[in-house]
């Protein structure tokens, strides 16, 4: 499996606190069958002023050395949609700095975007359209955890029609984020609006990875081909900067 969204670096966000915890989480992902993981530190200007590209790069190199090939860690970010992001998009179109490019997933044209938990940010359609026009492809992180989107799923369908990708958290499918998140996540997988499933793991105790269990559930319910598309093929396309495929499960 390829995990597109997890928090593996210590001391940069609410992920692992120490190198020992980071290594233990990396090894757990490997045990679950993950070979490649994109570490996606929160970029949320108010709380986590990541990325500091040099520090993130060094952290990934250190973690990869410690993992000794059992799991390979790639760079990325989980970017909260805030007004400052418009200035980032403008810089990306003309003269992106090192720190600007560090927001992309493995240096491709994909960016993992996170909505605030309660609302759909005003004007987000036009912002996503601007990104797509500039050649930046948004992947929407765990929309099933956004309260407003649960009640307005047609908004999510429109984002998908616009050209956005959708990533659901494996623990959501297992009920860890509540019944409503679980229900809509399954419904959206069935509708073919979901392109990838990721762990969004933060540690072994708080928010552990549950990719293996989610894989088994999806494979049992919708078949192995759907599981492969959601856990392997589309995540692989994203880290390679290739095109996404729709994955209708029904
Ligand atoms: Fe996350």
Which domains are present in the chain?
2-240 (3.20.20.140)
User: Cα(first)–Cα(last) distance of the chain, in Å?
Assistant: 22
Share of the chain above pLDDT 70, in %: 98
Ion ligand 1: residues, Cβ under 5 Å: 78, 200
pLDDT at 50: 62
pLDDT at 52: 79
Give the distance (Å) from ligand 1 centre to CA of residue 191: 23
**Which regions in the chain score pLDDT beneath 70?**
46-47, 49-51
* 108-159 tens-digit pLDDT: 999 999 999 999 999 999 999 999 999 999 999 999 999 999 999 999 999 9
Strand residue runs (E) in the chain:
2-6, 36-39, 42-44, 48-49, 72-75, 78-80, 110-114, 137-141, 165-169, 196-198
pLDDT at 167: 98
Give the distance (Å) from ligand 1 centre to CA of residue 199: 8
């Amino acid at each position: 499996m390829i995990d597109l969204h997890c928090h593996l670096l210590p001391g940069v966000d609410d992920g692992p606190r120490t190198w020992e915890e980071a290594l233990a989480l990396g090894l757990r992902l490997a045990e679950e069958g993950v070979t490649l993981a994109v570490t996606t530190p929160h970029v949320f200007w108010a709380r986590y002023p990541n990325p500091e590209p040099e520090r993130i790069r060094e952290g990934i190199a250190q973690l990869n050395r410690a993992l000794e090939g059992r799991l390979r860690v790639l760079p990325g970010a989980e970017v909260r949609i805030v007004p400052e992001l418009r200035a980032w998009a403008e810089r990306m179109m003309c003269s992106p700095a090192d720190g600007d490019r560090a927001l992309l997933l493995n240096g491709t044209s994909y960016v993992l975007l996170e909505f605030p938990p309660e609302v759909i940010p005003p004007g987000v359609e036009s912002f996503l359209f601007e990104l797509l026009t500039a050649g930046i492809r948004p992947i929407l992180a765990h929309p099933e955890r956004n309260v407003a989107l649960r009640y307005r799923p047609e908004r999510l369908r429109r984002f998908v029609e616009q050209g956005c990708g959708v990533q659901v958290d494996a623990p959501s499918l297992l009920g860890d984020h509540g019944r409503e998140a679980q229900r809509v996540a399954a419904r959206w997988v069935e509708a073919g609006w979901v392109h990838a499933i990721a762990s969004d793991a933060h540690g072994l105790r708080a928010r552990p990875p549950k990719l293996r269990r989610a894989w088994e559930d999806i494979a049992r319910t919708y078949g192995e081909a759907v599981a492969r598309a959601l856990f392997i093929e589309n995540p692989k396309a994203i880290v390679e900067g290739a095109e996404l495929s729709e994955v209708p499960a029904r």
